[in-house]
C-alpha cells in the first residue's frame, strides 16, 4: 500500500485534515528530545497550530536518544504522521506537518548538537520519561552512579543523557555568542522545570563553573503541566487507519480529544503565540499537583490492581464497580492534599477524568501505565500519603494502590501469568522480595528503598500497617478480592 508522504498528501480522503502551510518555508525553532507518541500527539500539535496560524519559526527537529524505530517510521514519510483523535463515539484524523526531521542521537550526536546550537532554535522540549532525567525519584538529586550520567560527567563530546545534550549545546551557544534556548520539560515529574534546571546546572558545573553561571543567569526552564492520554499505537490501529485512508501511516498516533499544556510564563527568548489547549501562567505547581495526584495517581492504581487482575485496558478495569469505588476513594483522599487553582473545580475535574478513563476506543493498556513505577510513585501516591499522614488522616485507598505496586514487583499476576517488570529499579525490588519471608518482611524490605520511600514516610507505623494489611489481602485473594473488601470511608 502507498505510504503517507509529501507526495501522497493530496490522495488522502477529504475528511483528513492536512498542513495548510508551505512546509518548505518553515524554519526550525524547536528541538525536541525523546520523540515518542506523546510528543507527536501533544507539543508537536501545538507547534503545528502555530505554523498553521502563519508563524513559520516553529518547525521541529526531533531526536530519539535511544532507538531508531521512530526515525525509521517517520523519515520515509517526510516526517508526516496522522493524529487520530478518538472521543469514544467517532474519530477525527489530522496530518501533522510540524516535524521536519528525526535524528537518532547515538548515531549522530553532532547533528543533534548542531541544530540545538543553531541561531534559529529558541526552544528545546523534552519527553524523555521520568527516568531520562537521571534524578533520584525521592529527592531529585542527580544519580551519580548512573553509567550514562557518569560518562557525561567525564566528557560531553558524545553526550549520553538529555541533561548532557542540553549542557553541551548551551556551551556551544555561549561560545558562539548566542543566547540560550528555553528548555521545557514535558514529563510528569514534580516541579519538572526546577528539576531539569538543577540537573543541567549541576552537570554544567562539573565541566565549567562559568558556563553554569551563564545558564543560571540567562537560561529558562519553565515548569509545565502536560496532559493528554496517548496510548501506544498498535498494529491494529495502523491497519485500521490504512483501511480508512487508503494510505499507510507507520507513524500515526492515537489520543483522546482532551489536551492541556500549562506553561510557566518564563521564556528567555522567542515563543509562539500559543493557541488552543495552552495556558501560560505564573504558577504551575497547583495545576501539576492536581493532575499528578488525581489523574496519574488513579492511573497507577488502575494499572497495578487491574494488571494484577489480568485486565488489559483501563476502561475494562473501570467496568468493575469495586474499581470505581476505589478510584473515587483515592480521589477523596488525594484532593484534601491539593491547593487547586481558582479556575479548577475539583468535582467537575473528577467527573471529567472518570469519563476520559471510560473512553472505550482508546484501549489504553494497564501494562503501559504500570511501567517505571519506581519513578512515578513518589509524586503520584507517596506525596499525598505523606501529607495526609501529617494531618492525621486515613490513607486506605492510597495504601491499597501502593500495596498493588508492591505485589506487581513480583512479576506474577493473580492468574499465575508471569510478566516482565519494566522498571529501572526492577532488580532492586526483585532482590528485596527474594530475601523476604512473609508479607510484613516484604513490605519492610521494599520500604527500605530510599530512592522511592523517603525515610520519614517509610518509618510511619500507620503507613506500614496499611501496606501489610493490603498486600496480605492481595496475596491471599488477589487484587479483585482486595478491591471487593475495600470500603469507601
How far apart are alpha carbons 389 and 462 in whole angstroms?
8
Q: Is 227 in the site for ligand CS2 (CB under 6 A)?
A: yes
Assign 3-class secondary structure to 357-408. HHCCCCCCEHHHHHCCHHHHHHHHHHHHHHHHHHCCCCCHHHHHHHHHHHHH
**Cβ atoms of 476 and 468 closer than 8 Å:** no
C-alpha cell at position 227: 496532559
Q: Which of 197, 299, 365, 442 binds ligand CS2 (CB under 6 A)?
A: 299
Q: Which stretch binds ligand CS2 (CB under 6 A): 66-74, 95-103, 162-170, 222-230?
A: 222-230
Nearer to ligand CS2 (CB atom), residue 5 or residue 368:
368
Q: Is 296 in the site for ligand CS2 (CB under 6 A)?
A: yes
Q: Is 16 in the site for ligand CS2 (CB under 6 A)?
A: no
Q: Is 394 in the site for ligand CS2 (CB under 6 A)?
A: no
Q: Least distance from C-beta 229 to ligand CS2, angstroms?
A: 5
Q: Is 302 in the site for ligand CS2 (CB under 6 A)?
A: no
Q: Is 229 in the site for ligand CS2 (CB under 6 A)?
A: yes
Q: Which stretch binds ligand CS2 (CB under 6 A): 43-51, 84-92, 116-124, 368-376?
A: 368-376
Q: Which stretch binds ligand CS2 (CB under 6 A): 67-75, 194-202, 227-235, 340-348?
A: 227-235
**Cβ atoms of 364 and 229 closer than 8 Å:** yes
Q: Least distance from C-beta 296 to ligand CS2, angstroms?
A: 4
**Cβ atoms of 317 and 302 closer than 8 Å:** yes
Q: Which of 115, 251, 369, 401 binds ligand CS2 (CB under 6 A)?
A: 369
Q: Which stretch binds ligand CS2 (CB under 6 A): 22-30, 112-120, 191-199, 225-233?
A: 225-233
- CA dihedral 349→351→356→361, nearest 10 degrees, is -170
Q: Which of 39, 73, 228, 313 binds ligand CS2 (CB under 6 A)?
A: 228
What's the distance, CA 166 to chain centroid? 19
Q: Is 315 in the site for ligand CS2 (CB under 6 A)?
A: no
Of the candidates 202, 186, 184, which has an alpha carbon nearest to the alpha carbon of residue 140? Answer: 202
What DSSP assignment string belongs to 229-294? Answer: --PPP-HHHHHHHHHHHSSB-TT-EEE-S--EEEEES--SS------TTEEEES--HHHHHHIIII
Q: What residue ranges bind ligand CS2 (CB under 6 A)?
A: 188, 227-229, 295-296, 299, 368-369, 376
Amino acid at each position: 500500500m502507498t505510504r503517507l508522504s509529501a507526495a501522497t498528501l493530496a490522495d488522502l480522503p477529504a475528511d483528513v485534515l492536512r498542513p495548510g502551510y508551505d512546509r518548505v518555508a518553515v524554519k526550525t525553532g524547536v528541538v525536541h528530545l525523546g520523540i515518542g507518541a506523546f510528543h507527536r500527539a501533544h507539543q508537536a500539535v501545538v507547534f503545528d497550530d502555530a505554523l498553521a496560524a502563519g508563524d513559520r519559526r516553529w518547525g521541529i527537529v526531533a531526536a530519539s536518544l535511544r532507538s531508531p524505530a521512530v526515525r525509521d517510521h517517520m523519515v520515509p514519510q517526510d516526517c508526516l504522521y496522522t493524529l487520530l483523535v478518538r472521543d469514544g463515539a467517532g474519530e477525527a484524523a489530522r496530518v501533522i506537518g510540524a516535524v521536519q526531521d528525526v535524528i537518532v542521537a547515538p548515531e549522530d550526536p553532532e547533528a543533534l548538537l548542531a541544530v540545538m546550537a543553531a541561531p534559529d532554535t529558541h526552544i528545546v522540549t523534552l519527553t524523555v520519561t521520568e527516568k531520562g532525567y537521571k534524578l533520584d525519584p525521592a529527592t531529585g538529586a542527580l544519580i551519580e552512579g548512573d553509567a550514562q550520567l557518569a560518562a557525561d560527567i567525564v566528557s560531553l563530546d558524545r553526550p549520553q543523557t538529555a541533561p548532557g545534550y542540553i549542557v553541551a549545546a548551551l556551551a556551544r551557544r555561549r561560545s558562539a555568542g548566542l543566547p540560550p534556548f528555553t528548555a521545557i520539560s514535558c514529563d510528569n515529574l514534580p516541579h519538572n522545570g526546577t528539576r531539569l534546571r538543577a540537573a543541567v546546572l549541576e552537570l554544567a558545573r562539573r565541566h565549567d563553573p562559568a558556563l553554569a553561571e551563564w545558564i543560571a543567569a540567562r537560561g529558562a526552564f519553565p515548569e509545565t503541566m502536560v496532559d493528554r492520554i496517548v496510548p501506544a499505537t498498535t498494529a491494529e490501529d495502523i491497519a485500521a487507519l490504512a483501511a480508512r485512508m487508503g494510505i499507510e501511516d507507520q507513524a500515526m498516533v492515537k489520543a483522546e480529544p482532551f489536551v492541556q499544556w500549562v506553561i510557566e510564563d518564563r521564556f528567555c527568548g522567542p515563543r509562539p503565540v500559543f493557541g488552543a489547549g495552552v495556558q501560560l501562567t505564573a504558577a504551575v505547581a497547583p495545576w501539576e499537583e492536581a493532575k499528578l495526584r488525581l489523574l496519574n495517581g488513579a492511573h497507577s492504581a488502575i494499572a497495578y490492581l487491574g494488571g494484577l487482575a489480568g485486565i488489559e485496558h483501563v476502561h475494562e478495569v473501570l467496568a468493575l464497580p469495586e474499581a470505581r469505588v476505589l478510584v473515587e476513594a483515592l480521589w477523596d483522599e488525594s484532593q484534601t492534599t491539593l491547593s487547586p487553582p481558582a479556575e479548577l473545580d475539583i468535582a467537575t475535574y473528577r467527573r471529567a477524568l472518570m469519563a476520559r478513563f471510560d473512553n472505550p476506543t482508546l484501549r489504553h493498556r494497564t501494562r503501559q501505565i504500570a511501567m517505571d513505577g519506581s519513578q512515578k510513585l513518589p509524586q503520584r501516591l507517596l506525596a499525598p500519603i505523606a501529607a495526609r499522614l501529617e494531618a492525621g488522616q486515613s490513607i486506605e485507598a492510597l495504601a491499597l494502590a501502593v500495596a498493588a505496586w508492591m505485589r506487581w514487583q513480583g512479576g506474577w499476576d493473580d492468574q499465575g501469568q508471569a510478566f516482565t517488570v519494566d522498571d529501572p529499579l526492577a532488580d532492586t525490588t526483585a532482590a528485596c522480595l527474594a530475601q523476604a519471608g512473609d508479607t510484613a518482611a516484604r513490605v519492610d524490605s521494599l520500604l527500605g528503598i530510599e530512592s522511592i520511600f523517603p525515610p520519614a514516610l517509610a518509618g510511619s507505623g500507620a503507613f506500614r500497617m496499611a501496606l501489610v494489611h493490603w498486600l496480605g489481602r492481595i496475596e491471599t485473594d488477589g487484587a479483585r478480592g482486595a478491591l471487593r473488601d475495600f470500603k469507601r470511608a
